[in-house]
Amino acid sequence: MSKQRIYINDVGVRDGFQIEKVFIPTETKIAFIDQLSKTGLAKIEATSFVHPKFVPNMADAETVLANIQRAAGVRYTALTPNVKGMERAIACHQSGAAIDEMNLFMSASETHNMANVKRTTAQSLQDFAEMVPMARRVGIRTNGTVSTSFGCPFEGLVSEARVMEIAEKYLAIGFDSLTFADTTGMANPRQVERMMREATKRFANTEITLHFHNTRGMGLANVVAGIAAGVVHYDASIAGLGGCPFAPGATGNICTEDLVNMLQDMGLDTGVDLDKLLAAAVKIPAIVGHDVPGQVMKAGKTMHLHPVPEKLYTAS
């Protein structure tokens, strides 16, 4: 029997770099994406089309997309919060800097959506009804993210029925795929398994991705729960970078190389070369100028064995 395949989307250069205080030089971003492209990842979230005043680190979206060396088999995606961003993305795509997919997002929680994008959820859905056909007309696929699917830092628990209802609305609008995001790290494994059993049943023909933050240390446990429910696509961030500028206390995404190490140990096929991924991850502290949460890059792979201490064999 062949190993079960799990698909990994690295969001570090977007979800991670966007909150860094210092501007990461455009050439550094391009070189880093090129390195990630050679590791076997299924997808890379390369940048976002947001107003540069709010997220200065993403101001170079067009230049980044125009200069990366696209690898066969990798889907390159970009995020945008609004119609203006979609217009920029389409212009970029049509100028030859191809974008495979646009990722649009709205919070399941009304309060979080207002805090994050200054829109009611009804307004966001209206925007999407305009944006999704725009993308489709030029051959860009669209992914709809339901942020705060597993809890909201302002409202607490989000109704599971509401999350499913939003996903239904997304598909009615015409999104090609869905992401359920635990934006501020409030999900727990039982909740994830329960909700994803429901989602994989209701949206059986739709690609479903899970996006976890490790804010309370439950990130990888939530992945195991998601896999048990049949979800095979996961977002993760190289070196564990990330957070959300509009989510109080939100820390990093689950770490890509820690995730790959775990999945490999579990006998699953990620398609990723862990050594190549680690070679990229170790560059991150110098790029961002601070320590990062990634653990395997510090401890070594599980099967990175150590010499037996000599003292063990000397009689004391």
Q: Which residues bind Zn ion (CB under 5 A)?
A: 15
Closest approach of Zn ion to the CB of residue 94, in Å: 28
Torsions phi, psi of 94, nearest 5?
A: -75, -20
Q: What DSSP string runs through 37-100?
A: HTTT-SEEEEEE---TTT-GGGTTHHHHHHHS-PPTTPEEEEE-SSHHHHHHHHHHHHTT---S
CB of 42 or CB of 97, closer to Zn ion: 42
The Cα–Cα gap between 28 and 46 comes to: 13
CB of 90 or CB of 192, closer to Zn ion: 192
CB of 36 or CB of 254, closer to Zn ion: 254
- Mention every residue, 6+ apart, whose C-beta is less than 8 A from residue 31: none
Q: Which of 92, 152, 244, 255 is catalytic?
A: 244
- C-alpha distances out from residue 18 to 46, 59, 102, Å: 11, 10, 17
The 10 Å CB-count burial string (b at 16+, else e) for 22-31 is: eebeeeebbb
244 is catalytic: yes
Closest approach of Zn ion to the CB of residue 184, in Å: 9
Tell me which residue has its CB nearest to Zn ion. 15
CB of 15 or CB of 127, closer to Zn ion: 15
Rounded to 5 degrees, what angle do the CA atoms 69, 131, 57 make?
45
**Where in the sequence numbering do the catalytic residues fall?**
244
